[in-house]
Amino acid sequence: MSTELSNVLIVVIIVVILFFAIKNSIPHFKGEGACCGGGGKGTIIKPKKLDKVIEVRKIKIGGMHCENCSRRVQNALNSIEGINAKVKLSRELAIIKLGKEIDDKVIEKAITDLGYEIKNT
């Protein structure tokens, strides 16, 4: 095989690899990809409107890396009856409004079952 043919073959292989690398990275650069195994464009469970708020808890959460992470935590918390939660990724914080008494362990389990950790404040 001649040197020119070898060089052309190497360039073609590199171009093909770069094509697929860029093609698969575009959704991530647009903010549509997810770093943590999620689908990027997940649905959000809207926080329930509570008749009355009896308590507000703030919980520091470790291990969240992207919007998908915070969305997963927020969805898990908002799926619990009597909770209206918002999760702030930049502050690693869940702000949880309670409409009824809910044990700390229920809230902590919802977070830790997703693979995140409760940080001491």
- Three-state DSSP class for 94? strand
User: How confident is the model over 13-68, as pLDDT tens digits?
Assistant: 999 999 988 887 776 666 555 566 555 556 778 888 889 999 999 999 999 988 88
Strands (E), the chain: 55-62, 83-88, 93-98, 117-119
Domain boundaries, the chain: 1-30, 55-119
Sort strands 83-88 and 117-119 into parallel, antiparallel or unpaired: unpaired
User: How confident is the model over 96-108, as pLDDT tens digits?
Assistant: 999 999 999 999 9
Query: Residue 118's pLDDT is what?
Result: 95
Query: Residue 17's pLDDT is what?
Result: 95
User: What class does CATH assign to 55-119?
Assistant: alpha beta
Q: What is the CA radius of gyration of the chain?
A: 22
Model pTM greater than 0.85?
Answer: no
Contact in structure between 33 and 27 (CB atoms under 8 Å): yes
